[in-house]
Structure 1
Amino acid sequence: MSSSSKSRGVFAAGMVLSALALSGCSMFSKSAPKPADLGPNVPVIAVSQAWKSSMGKVEGIVLEPRVIGDAVTVASDAGEVLSLNARTGAVAWRVSLGTPLSAGVGSDGRWSAVVSKSNELIAVEGGREVWRKQLPIQVFTAPLVAGNRVFVLAADRSVYAFDAASGQRLWVQQRPGEALVLRQQGVLMPVGNTLVTGLAGRLVGFNPDNGSIRWEAPLASPRGTNDVERLVEIAGRVSRVGESICARAFQTTVGCIDVERGTVAWTQPAAGSDGIDGDEKAVYGVESNGTVIAWKRADGAKVWSSNRLRYRQLTAPLVLGRSVVIGDSTGEVHMLSREDSAPLNRLSTDKSGVAAAPVAAAGTLVVVTHDGGIYGFRPE
């Protein structure tokens, strides 16, 4: 398996073991079960491609497209960062940073931030690089830009805060490092005046002004007899509705917390590796074998389970209108009903595969592929 953004490599003792994948590599080997034929697409919701743009390949970077208003900011392996108008597909700005990237993109609409494979945090303003700061360790989670600051969750789960205008380091919070961590998007998000991160199976609330910890809510605990079996991480993306934040602990559980109290509302066993999404009634996730599951947001009871997409490499879901939208490794984008998982439409991109969980902005579904295709879809 390659060390692409869909790989589940691990970070260990200062090096990346990208050959070791922790979620179902054998599932997609030559001897693995083949996905069932989906048959002809019968659109229940009429959706068509509105525009297409392109950039460099998305293979080695852990990409999280960032939505701010009508703008979507994305990045490529080779160091290209661009912001598009999601309504029209027009490129607002594009910059080449001249260095391969490991994680991106963070943006607040003014400043954008990415991290290079040489561990540099790079800030861009209006399509112009403004500063670089060397980090002591690798980063696999897109930075967060909020409150005129840039926050970084490093591979050893240390958390950094920088001034967005100058790059001055404001604080760092370091914890005992885990033996292994995931080479994929983690959790780094603002909730009111709290910075919420995922650290070793816990959602942790920080004071963004000084890095002090306000609360910790465990969704999973390490188990097993070796480092691989004991690996517990929170996988982005997460779902927030009011004071409820729901998230996935890698290959262990899905659960929700009350962010105001910092307490766990519920957890349920789940064997997936990518993040989840949700609405006020339910949360939706993809298991490592391609089973799609919906749980009640209130108590975690299972609402439905669908095997229609089993044995396909799937992205984290996006809740959009009536649909749960999921990309796959063949470049197909599946729209399932939130109510009962019935197929609503199937959209096609190129054949290189969907590289990151789909996002939505300006009434447009935006999908990025491994070959760097950026597609905008809208209802007809």
Structure 2
Amino acid sequence: MRAPKIPAAGPGRRALLLASAGLLGGCEWLDDLFRERKVPLAGERRSVLSAVQRAGLSVDEGLQARAVSLPPPTPNADWPQAGGAPSHAPGHLALDTGAAGSGGSLREAWRSSFGSGSGYRRRITGAPIVAGGTVYVVDALGIVSAFDAATGARRWRLDSRPEEERDGAVGGGVAFDAGTLYVASGLAEMLAVDPAEGGVRWRTRLPAPTRGAPTVVNGRIFVPTIENQLLALSAEDGRRLWTHRASPATAVPLGLPAPAVEGDTVVAGFASGELSALRASDGRVLWTETLAAAGTSTLAEIAGIRALPVVDHGRVFAVGMGGLSIAIDLRSGRRLWEREVGGTEAPWSAGEWLFLLSRDGELAAIGGENGRVRWVTDLQRPREGRRDPPPAHWAAPVLAGGRILVAGSGGEMVAVEPTDGRILERRRLPGGVTLQPAVAGGTLYLATDDATLVALRGAASA
């Protein structure tokens, strides 16, 4: 049994410094910072899995005869929340790749600036969402913008910060549900906004700031805070319904994962490395796992979870920063398999396959049922004849139009063949991308680190 939960202490300057680093890939300098401070995680680590199941991203030769079969692409009009759906498992999405004979290449349809980009003191922490023909995105100052999804024309702009606190903020995130846009503010507020005009319907204070997007389902808002809490609020008026406190964390990533919701179960990852399933109606804990650190690097001791948890086919998939990825049975909490590979980005589930991105820039196709690896592709490998350094960080992948698309902080997007991992195409982007793109209406939407919103679609439609 797990020890009783202890309320998390407020983050000090040290935690906030680490939060800035948590957003970035390649945080090797944290090794030295933590060499003298080793805080063990609460909970008991139980390992009953075979060495094969626990191996890293090594291709399983016995799996080579098995084809990677995917469901057909499904058209979707909206991408209303982080991860594309409350479960973070939208499946194989349709994407307009142009007329026959075009090679499936995407073309830029439009681009628009949405405010202040990421910098030393501020970060864009919420990926764009799409609902009702409008793209919503939050800049590094907490300013929310709405754009016409077809043309890129700005529809409205809202400064989510209170008037008395407009000297700065750290990001925020948005979600859309039942005709309302919900904004989680980096200044410890939640807002309900009219999606058509940008007017504030209500706003409420949170006990601590958040650094990402909420998840909104069935009249409830679920939002994490930097004090290792998960809050449930009423979508009607913002009143607090319940609070769950995870164990204290050594470091808080900048970019907290929106929880996944399936039915009456909420699955949330925390900076302490805990992964908890709770009853959505009252917050009762159903089960808790710990993505304990793996490996010898002291970076592995930061076992927090920054990647969105994914729920699909009754399984929970979670990736930890400390070097462990796991699959868990949603109902029982039983661990199905684990891999000694860490990362900061959500995996993508489609059919019986999981596409997982490691913190080293390796993309792998893994059997969702058994954790066996079908193929591994190194995205960091430089292009032939190029000496430019590869991107330091890759955003979470999306599966759309028969391709896996992965955008990187180096201003490049890679298209990968999902059946065998071949790199099909590399294309330049207007800037670096560290947040998962959105797919809606056959169009791919990306938010660059310098606050440029870009729409890509097939050549015939661009």
Which residue of structure 1 lines up, in the alignment, with residue 410 of structure 2? 330
Which residue of structure 1 lines up, in the alignment, with residue 51 of structure 2? none
Q: Deviations over 1:267-322 (max 9, x none)?
A: 11113232221211322222223222221212111111112424422111111132
- Distance (whole Å) between structure 2 residues aligned to residue 366 and residue 212 of structure 1: 37
Deviation of residue 361 (structure 1)? 0.8
Which residue of structure 2 lines up, in the alignment, with residue 319 of structure 1? 399
- Distance (whole Å) between structure 2 residues aligned to residue 368 and residue 106 of structure 1: 16
Which residue of structure 1 lines up, in the alignment, with residue 179 of structure 2? 110
Larger Rg: 2
Deviation of residue 12 (structure 1)? 4.6
Which residue of structure 1 lines up, in the alignment, with residue 302 of structure 2? 231
Going from structure 1 to structure 2, the CA distance change for 1:224 and 1:354 (only over 3 Å counts) comes to closer
Amino acid at match of 1:129: V
Q: 4+ residue stretches of structure 1 with deviation over 6 A?
A: 223-227
Counterpart selection for 1:216 from 288, 298, 321: 288
Determine whether 1:56 maps to 2:58. no
Q: Matched residues, percent identical? A: 25
Going from structure 1 to structure 2, the CA distance change for 1:224 and 1:333 (only over 3 Å counts) comes to closer
- Distance (whole Å) between structure 2 residues aligned to residue 281 and residue 151 of structure 1: 28
Amino acid at match of 1:24: G
Larger relative contact order (C-alpha < 8 A, sep ≥ 6)? 2
**Contact 2:349 2:355 (8 Å CA) reproduced:** yes
**Contact 2:110 2:456 (8 Å CA) reproduced:** yes
Amino acid at match of 1:301: R
Going from structure 1 to structure 2, the CA distance change for 1:128 and 1:355 (only over 3 Å counts) comes to farther
Deviation of residue 64 (structure 1)? 2.6
Going from structure 1 to structure 2, the CA distance change for 1:317 and 1:159 (only over 3 Å counts) comes to same
Q: How does 1:66-105 map to 2 (within 5 A)?
A: 66-68=129-131, 70-91=133-154, 93-98=156-161, 99=166, 100-105=169-174
Counterpart selection for 2:313 from 230, 235, 242: 242
**Contact 2:108 2:457 (8 Å CA) reproduced:** yes
**CA RMSD after TM alignment:** 2.9
Q: TM-score, normalised by structure 2?
A: 0.69
**Contact 1:318 1:324 (8 Å CA) reproduced:** yes
Amino acid at match of 2:444: L
Which residue of structure 1 lines up, in the alignment, with residue 429 of structure 2? 349
**Contact 1:61 1:76 (8 Å CA) reproduced:** yes
5+ residue gaps in structure 1?
1-10, 28-42
**Contact 2:260 2:308 (8 Å CA) reproduced:** no
Q: Deviations over 1:93-151 (max 9, x none)?
A: 43232443432022215222333333222332222112332223232231222222222
Aligned length: 354
Q: How does 1:1-380 map to 2 (within 5 A)?
A: 12-13=11-12, 15-18=15-18, 20=21, 23-25=25-27, 44-59=103-118, 60-68=123-131, 70-91=133-154, 93-98=156-161, 99=166, 100-108=169-177, 110-126=179-195, 127-199=198-270, 200-218=272-290, 220-222=291-293, 229-310=300-381, 311-312=390-391, 313-350=393-430, 352-380=431-459
- Distance (whole Å) between structure 2 residues aligned to residue 244 and residue 93 of structure 1: 39
Secondary structure of residue in 2 paired with 1:16: helix
- Distance (whole Å) between structure 1 residues aligned to residue 420 and residue 303 of structure 2: 30
- Distance (whole Å) between structure 2 residues aligned to residue 333 and residue 161 of structure 1: 36
Q: Deviations over 1:142-193 (max 9, x none)?
A: 1222222222111222111222232222221223322223222324121112
**Contact 2:302 2:322 (8 Å CA) reproduced:** no
- Determine which structure has the larger helix proportion and give its number: 2
Secondary structure of residue in 2 paired with 1:62: coil
Q: Deviations over 1:6-29 (max 9, x none)?
A: xxxxx95464014655852459xx
Comparing 359-368 and 100-109, the one that deviates more: 100-109
Going from structure 1 to structure 2, the CA distance change for 1:224 and 1:243 (only over 3 Å counts) comes to closer
Amino acid at match of 1:244: R
**Contact 2:107 2:458 (8 Å CA) reproduced:** yes
Secondary structure of residue in 2 paired with 1:344: strand
Going from structure 1 to structure 2, the CA distance change for 1:325 and 1:281 (only over 3 Å counts) comes to same
Amino acid at match of 1:253: L
- Distance (whole Å) between structure 2 residues aligned to residue 222 and residue 45 of structure 1: 41
Which residue of structure 2 lines up, in the alignment, with residue 38 of structure 1? none
- Distance (whole Å) between structure 2 residues aligned to residue 260 and residue 266 of structure 1: 15
Going from structure 1 to structure 2, the CA distance change for 1:152 and 1:49 (only over 3 Å counts) comes to same
Going from structure 1 to structure 2, the CA distance change for 1:20 and 1:334 (only over 3 Å counts) comes to closer
Going from structure 1 to structure 2, the CA distance change for 1:169 and 1:227 (only over 3 Å counts) comes to farther
Amino acid at match of 1:287: S
Q: TM-score, normalised by structure 1?
A: 0.82
- Distance (whole Å) between structure 2 residues aligned to residue 228 and residue 347 of structure 1: 32
- Distance (whole Å) between structure 2 residues aligned to residue 259 and residue 367 of structure 1: 31
- Determine which structure has the larger strand proportion and give its number: 1
- Distance (whole Å) between structure 1 residues aligned to residue 265 and residue 130 of structure 2: 20
